[in-house]
Amino acid sequence: MIRRLAAALALLTAFALATPAHAADEGPEQIVNGTFDEGTGPWWGTGNLTLGVDDGRMCVDVPGGTANPWDVIIGQDNLPLVEGETYAFSFYASATPAKVGRALVQLPVDPWTQYLSAAPEMSVSGNVYRYTFTAPVSLPNAQVAFQMGGSAEPWRFCMDDVSLRGGAEPEEYEPDTGPRVRVNMVGYLPSGPKNATVVTEATEPLKWELKDASGRTVARGKSDPRGVDASSGQNVQSIDFSGHRKPGAGYTLTADGETSRPFDIAENLYDEMRVDSLKFYYTQRSGIEIRDDLRPGYGRPAGHVGTAPNRGDTSVPCQPGVCDYSLDVSGGWYDAGDHGKYVVNGGISVHQLMSLYERDKAAFADRQLRIPESGNGVPDVLDEARWEQEFLLSMQVPQGERLAGMAHHKIHDAQWTGLPLMPHLDPQPRELHPPSTAATLNLAATAAQAARVFAPYDAAFAARNLAAARRAWAAAVANPDLLADPNDGVGGGAYSDTDVSDEFYWAAAELFITTGEKEFAQFVLASPHHTGDIWRERGFDWGNTAQLGRLELATVPNAIRDRERVRRSVLEGAEKYLAVQRDQAYGQPYGPPDYDWGSNNLVLNNMVVMAVAYDLTGKEKYRAGVREGMDYILGRNALNQSYVTGYGEVSSQNQHSRWYARQLDASLPNPPRGTLSGGPNSAIQDPVAQRLLQGCEPQFCYVDHIESWATNELTINWNAPLAWISAFLADRSGHAGCDVRYTAQGGRNFVAHVTVRNTGGKSLDGWNLRWSFPGAQRVRDSWGAAVSQDGPVVTAKSRGKLRPGATAAFGFAGTAPAGPNPSPEVFHVNGDRCR
């Protein structure tokens, strides 16, 4: 890790001694796209500007009525300066009408030390300006800023040929990718597939050797030539050492004269990641102090509670003209490295947390995550989900207002802020943005899900959610095309989406599962997403949510007419991702020609589809696909790095964040262990990536730099599939030879008869059978077995012997809430799952 960070910094400051002194204006060019031949990137402007290229120059309309020079800025960041070097700074500029501006080369953060400060007197016809200065410090990230505020009247500014020459030759960026043999640096599960990839010139099979920690060779074989891998541009061969199952630490794999980084073979590999990936959410919380005793090194004051300089989220008005009320939208999770809170990605995040809980409720307990609510008798994962769900509820337009029942799309700062900036120190005004159909349907879906999931613990909260879900649904049906504005991206992300038919489908599915009502069944059955091929190779995410609806209908007990077909369709999706995976020499189930923003979360979501296929069928190939997919995330990739902080010898450490900004301020921490980085993104929208990664092959479009927000951010919606998959991989339940029949009769008071048949070869000397109820069903009285209940989780115990082929029967009387009371479908006998 340290080596990698050092390499990244060295690259930005390199050659201080090695390079001969240049006459400054013959030195290397440091500005990227100073001629505006490639549009306006990586230049940025303050939110009151629209950057544009006009006749080959960058031109902006500068608004009038600002007070300070720095109220209007165009800038470029991340310019490396070398101490003692002389730089020539030049540009062409014009002003209509004529104006004096400010041109600065400076420190990009407080105290904004200026290395050059000029006051060009600009004319309508335009002039070229030239300055020189000597850098007093070495700095990887100086800023060039044109400050143009402070004018009462509006005016027009144009510039061109911006140049900063001198210093070190910008080095071609070469990531430090370590040994050419690529493995999952965390390790492999003993019974799982074990694959590696070797980068090599060789086209003939290579010999490989697996060595244990003592250096003894424990397995050997030949690799499989794969040719040039399109996702990396590398010639590669793959190695399969699945045959070796013996647990141990410190294994290495050698091929082509290279030895991999060490890894383990162990059963418990994912136990900590399952917890860490969920603990991530507490430190993303807004509106509450983060306690240092719960997260040593991460304690901080509550953000956005209305204490200066925060304006607070306790009474947030709308953007001008959008509404005339204010809402208390405090709480929730910060989206990512910014301080914004957005309903659509909050929606999928809280959904996936509730979904991993619904998959196996017995696996999630109170006191697992060390959060303030630990010890309240509710599983911590639900307490964490509730923190966000309460926020989503608060975003709903109140009754009596225009668009009542809709949800505001997002709330965030009026202007983008710089890094670092602790949440409680953010001085920006906060604004509610217009309601959108997408946000409203996210609210409907998650609130419907919360209504059943929270029912055993808090009936009032469950009822509040169901009522909100119904109101949201009705409002979305009445306003089906209120789309978020794709240009509303100042101070926060736009999260716009042109097609919300998938959100309608997902919300209808959740509402149907929870209520069983015909209206929702009809909507589900009529939706094109119910039967269409929704398994896109690029995966599902906050903007593509039909898959959530389909997965829910397949896994959560419900009475949709064509349930069997729905379940089969998930297998089709999983088969498709297995096929994609087979084609990838690095084993990732994701293979588009260019990688998307947040590609790692798409890889993980494709693995969720495979995992559900495994749960539905028990077929090993699907679980093997998930296990192999994780190898890519944890080091078997072109960069030889793990994308989960703290996991594997080299992992992402510098994810873009205003408060885990250690790379900018050594007194701040790195992101907590278990934080996923977004990962390679071919479009490299940020200046650092544009500077370092031009022309990158997909897997190389990544840099672990805090300012690379397009390749290296952290988000709540990316950690959610990491948590889902970690929970799946940590699940050690095997297959039990058992067949359970569960039949229930009655309504609010029901009687259930259960039979358990031992279909395995071994006699059971006493057995316990476990299932969980979908909602607030309760066992009242039982016979034939001792039945106990903890929240929704029920365990029936018997001391009787159950021989192979024999059947035991028991029954119970229970009570059910209003609505559907479908039979449980997942049963565990003595800890193993019946198939």
| Smallest separation, CB 419 to ligand 9MR (Å) | 13
Closest separation in Å from C-beta 493 to ligand 9MR: 2
User: How far apart are CB 592 and ligand 9MR at their closest, in Å?
Assistant: 14
Q: Which of 22, 412, 656, 705 is catalytic?
A: 656
Please tell me the distance from the alpha carbon of residue 454 to that of residue 685, in angstroms, as a whole number: 40
CB of 383 to ligand 9MR, least distance (A): 25
CA distance linking residue 181 with residue 259, whole number of Å: 6
If the CB atoms of residues 506 and 718 are measured against ligand 9MR, the closer one turns out to be: 718
Cα radius of gyration rounded to whole Å, the chain? 29
Give, in degrees to the nearest 5, the angle at Cα 359 between 356 and 816: 120
User: Least distance (Å) from ligand 9MR to the CB of residue 604?
Assistant: 14
In the bound state, the residue with its beta carbon closest to ligand 9MR is 493
The CB density around residue 19, as the number of other CB atoms within 10 Å, is: 15
Query: In sequence order, what E strands does 300-350 have?
Result: 316-317, 326-327, 341-342
Q: Compute how many other C-beta atoms are within 10 angstroms of the C-beta atom of residue 791.
A: 20
Q: Which of residues 373 and 713 has its CB atom nearest to ligand 9MR in the complex? A: 713
CB closer to ligand 9MR, 395 vs 453: 395
Residue 785 backbone dihedrals phi, psi, to 5 degrees: -160, 160
| 525 exposure class (CB count in 10 Å sphere: 0-12, 13-18, 19+) | middle
Contact indicator for 346, 392 with CB cutoff of 8 Å = yes
Closest among 35, 32, 26 to 166, alpha carbons compared: 26
Interatomic CA distance for residues 701 and 696, integer angstroms:
5
Q: Are 437 and 473 in contact (CB under 8 A)?
A: no
**90/606 with CB nearer ligand 9MR:** 606
Is there a contact between 407 and 442 (Cβ–Cβ < 8 Å)? yes
Residues in the chain: 835
Contact positions vs ligand 9MR (CB under 6 A):
335-336, 338, 340, 493-495, 597-598, 709, 713, 715
Q: What are the distances in angstroms from CA 160 to CA 52, 168, 824? A: 12, 23, 68
Q: Which is nearer to ligand 9MR, 294 or 494 (CB)?
A: 494
CB of 500 to ligand 9MR, least distance (A): 16
Confirm whether 229 is a catalytic residue: no
Among residues 704, 705, 707, 828, which one is catalytic? 704
In 148-279 the beta strands, taken as DSSP E runs, fall at 155-165, 181-182, 187-188, 195-199, 207-211, 217-222, 224-229, 234-240, 248-255, 258-259, 263-265
Whether 121 sits among the annotated catalytic residues: the reply is no
Nearer to ligand 9MR, 718 or 812 (CB): 718
Q: Of 280 and 767, which has the nearer Cβ to ligand 9MR?
A: 280
User: In the bound complex, what is the minimum distance in angstroms from residue 490's beta carbon to ligand 9MR?
Assistant: 11
Q: Which of 380, 384, 502, 713 is catalytic?
A: 713
DSSP 791: T
Task: Compute the least distance from the CB of residue 343 to ligand 9MR, in Å.
Answer: 13
**For residue 56, which amino acid is it?**
G
* Interior angle at CA 154, CA 148 and CA 155, nearest 5: 65
By beta-carbon proximity to ligand 9MR, the closer residue of 428 and 715 is: 715
Phi, psi of 425 (to 5 degrees): -105, 5
Helix axes 563-583, 546-555, angle to 10 degrees: 120
369: left (phi over 0), alpha (psi -120 to 50) or beta: alpha
Give the nearest distance from C-beta 215 to ligand 9MR in angstroms. 43
Q: Find, among 768, 811, 817, 818, the residue nearest to 793 by Cα.
A: 768
Shortest spacing between CB 635 and ligand 9MR, in angstroms: 23
Please say which residue, 357 or 659, places its beta carbon nearer to ligand 9MR.
Answer: 659
Going by C-alpha positions, the residue among 275, 262, 261 that lies closest to residue 369 is 275
Q: Minimum distance between the CB of residue 642 and ligand 9MR, rounded to whole angstroms?
A: 20
CB of 499 to ligand 9MR, least distance (A): 15
Can you list the positions of beta strands (E) in 248-290? 248-255, 258-259, 263-265
Between 160 and 338, name the residue whose CB sits nearer to ligand 9MR.
338
Q: Whole-angstrom Cα distance, residue 261 to residue 635?
A: 9
User: Please, are residues 759 and 739 in contact by the beta-carbon 8 Å criterion?
Assistant: yes
Q: Which is nearer to ligand 9MR, 376 or 685 (CB)?
A: 685
**Is 120 or 493 the residue whose CB approaches ligand 9MR more closely?**
493
Is residue 665 annotated as a catalytic residue, yes or no? no
Cβ within 8 Å of residue 95, ≥6 positions away: 101, 122, 123, 124, 155, 156, 157
> In terms of DSSP bridges, do strands 155-165 and 435-436 run parallel, antiparallel, or are they unpaired?
unpaired
Give catalytic residue positions. Answer: 656, 704, 713
